[in-house]
Structures are given as C-alpha cells and as structure tokens.
Amino acid sequence: MKKIALLLLVGVTFFSCGREKKEEADFSEIAEESLKTTLILDAIYIKDDSLSVFCKVDNYFLYDKPIAVKVKGSDVIQRISIEIPENTPVESFSIVASTNKDQSTLVMKGISVEQNGKMVFDGSDYKYLDYFLADESFKWDEAKQRCDISHSNKYPPGIVGSEKIEHILIK
C-alpha cells in the first residue's frame, strides 16, 4: 500500500512539474511577439529645446497622445532615442522638431526607425530626406548643411513621414 501511495505521489509531482514548464514556454512565446519601436534622431540642437512625436496608427495621427522629449543644447550631434509605447503598430511619424522660439537653426542629420532592436529604416546621413517632409518653417542652407527654422508660422516647425516611409513600416 505504501508503494502504491509513493508511486501515486511521484506521478502527480512529475505531471505537475511538466505542466508548469509548458505554461512557462507559452509565456515566453507571447513575450517575443511584442512590438518595440524606437525612433532615432541624429541632430544638433544648439539651445535647450523640446520636441513632440505623434504616431500614425490606423491611418490617423494620434495628436492626443504626444511623446514629449526634452533636448539639451549642444554644438555636437547627439542621438535622441524615442521609445514608442509597446505594441503600437506605427505607420508613420509626425515630429514637432522645435518649440524653443530662440532656436534659429537645426541640423537633422538622420531619422531612423528600429523595431525589436533591428533597423527597419536607416535614415542616417540625410538618407531620410526622401521619406520625411519638412514644412515651410524649414529653409535648407546648403553652404552650412543645416536648416534655418522659423517659429513665426501658425504651427511650430515640423517634419512628417511621407508615403514612402509608410510602405516600409506597414507590413
């Protein structure tokens, strides 16, 4: 009788341990399916500033959900990584590039996009220019390789993704 009880106890314990491992494996598969998007800007902001990023989801920009980022002024290029809320299926971006009215120039050398740690759009070294459009607040200065920006328009200086970036981001 003791042997039967012992075998029954060992069998139940073994069966229970196997079920926990299966549940753990299912959880890891779910974790791998999450979407983590990062917008990367390589830019020179001479003065302290802030920018806002709006994501386009289901054909609409989420203007009620801005992602605000503060930028410390510097004479050298800096990488600004903007984490998009997890599992947001981004189709495009709209970027308010500057809110500091004293910021008169801006060097935006690159705009790139990573998803789950992999580069899906490499817009470094001005390659983004065919994929993102600047509004009338930006005037390109060819000699200095920078933009002169104006804060006198109805809206702050902005950059928005074109249909070309949507074709890359929508899979």
pLDDT tens, residue by residue, 54-99: 999 999 999 999 999 999 999 999 999 999 999 999 999 999 999 9
Distance CA(58)–CA(38), nearest Å, equals 19
pLDDT at 9 over 50: no
Which of the pair, 134 or 23, is modelled with greater confidence?
A: 134
- Asked if 131 and 77 sit in the same domain, the reply is yes
pLDDT at 33: 75
Question: How many domains does the chain divide into?
Answer: 2
**Contacts with 130 (C-beta within 8 Å, 6 or more apart), sequence order:** 162, 164
- Asked if 44 and 25 sit in the same domain, the reply is no
Residue 58 burial by CB count (10 A; 0-12/13-18/19+): exposed, middle or buried?
exposed
- Asked if 26 and 44 sit in the same domain, the reply is no
- Asked if 72 and 145 sit in the same domain, the reply is yes
- Asked if 50 and 17 sit in the same domain, the reply is no
- Asked if 90 and 29 sit in the same domain, the reply is no
- Asked if 97 and 15 sit in the same domain, the reply is no
Q: What is the overall mean pLDDT for the chain?
A: 86
| pLDDT tens-digit series, residues 31-56 | 557 999 999 999 999 999 999 999 99
Residue 28: give the domain boundaries.
Answer: 1-33
pLDDT at 17 over 80: no
* Mean pLDDT calculated for residue range 108-133: 95
Distance CA(168)–CA(126), nearest Å, equals 17
- Asked if 56 and 9 sit in the same domain, the reply is no
